[in-house]
Structure 1
Amino acid sequence: MARDVQITFDCADPARLAAFWAEALGYRLQDPPPGFESWDQALEAMGVPPERRNDASALIDPEGSRPRLFFQRVPERKQTKNRVHLDVRAAPGLRGDARMAALEAEAERLVSHGATRLRRHEPAPPLDAGHIVLADPEGNEFCLD
């Protein structure tokens, strides 16, 4: 049986992390409920106090084919290395120097949006085509692959 998947991020600042991942993946903020022009307007109508309006955020794929991303505020900070991480396919079909140049360009772009560069893995044929490891603004590791 096929199932839909949502990827959930525990974080300190859902709006900031959602903005980063929207930029990284080409996603967009999920629209507010029908009848509301903004999330702030909807949350006001729902009686959510201003200090709780950044408790969650959600992104959707504009094409509707990739999973929804959900960001929820949690009190604790990230403690250790991720056991699961995202691979962002930034150089599909490219090999060698062209691949690494495309990954470097995307790493530079994402660093300008708040990512931290952690390390580069050089190509090691036949199995590893090379990749770059980054962390999002809250320290969650991901790979540019």
Structure 2
Amino acid sequence: MTREFQVTFDAADPAALATFWCEVLGYRLQPPPPGFDSWDAALDAWGVPAEHRNDRSALVPAEGETGPRLFIQKVPEPKSAKNRVHLDVRAAPGQTGAERMATLQTEADRLVGLGARQVRRVDPDGGPEQGFIWLEDPEGNEFCLD
């Protein structure tokens, strides 16, 4: 049996990190629940105070697409160690060699412009290594473009 799952990120600024990951993945912010025309209306109805309106955010695939939900929750402590799990974002499917690396670098440059940091580029080795680029999101979470 296949199970649904979501990927959860800890963050200092859930709204900003959600905006970044929407750009990376082509996702959208999760729409407000039925009966509400905006999240502010829902949060008002639920009595959520202004200082807690950026405690969490959720992203879902674009309309008609599939993929896991991403949930971003505010935590008080900063990131302190390397992630044990990270996302590999498939940015150059079907491409190889120089073409693949050029596509990955173009996407890495775009994401750096949105606040990511490029950590390392690993070029193809002529063997099993096809090449990838290791980045960190604006809050230091590692991910790879491959």
Q: TM-score scaled to structure 2, two decimals? A: 0.97
Deviation sequence 1:19-56 (CA, Å, 0-9, x none):
00000000000000112111111101110000000000
Name the structure 2 match of 1:135: 136
Deviation sequence 1:51-88 (CA, Å, 0-9, x none):
00000000000234100000000111100111100000
Name the structure 2 match of 1:45: 45
**Distance of 1:102 and 1:64 partners within structure 2:** 23
Deviation sequence 1:102-140 (CA, Å, 0-9, x none):
001000111111101111001113211011011000000
Name the structure 2 match of 1:126: 127
User: Which consecutive residues of structure 2, in runs of 5 or more, have no partner in the other structure?
Assistant: none
**Deviation at 1:15?**
0.4
1:113 aligns with 2:99: no
Moved over 4 A (4+): none
**Of 68-77 and 32-41, the range deviating more from structure 2:** 32-41
Match runs of 1:1-145 below 5 Å: 1-62=1-62, 63-145=64-146
**Distance of 2:5 and 2:45 partners within structure 1:** 29
| Residue correspondences, number | 145
Identity %: 63
**Distance of 1:40 and 1:112 partners within structure 2:** 29
Aligned CA-pair RMSD: 0.8
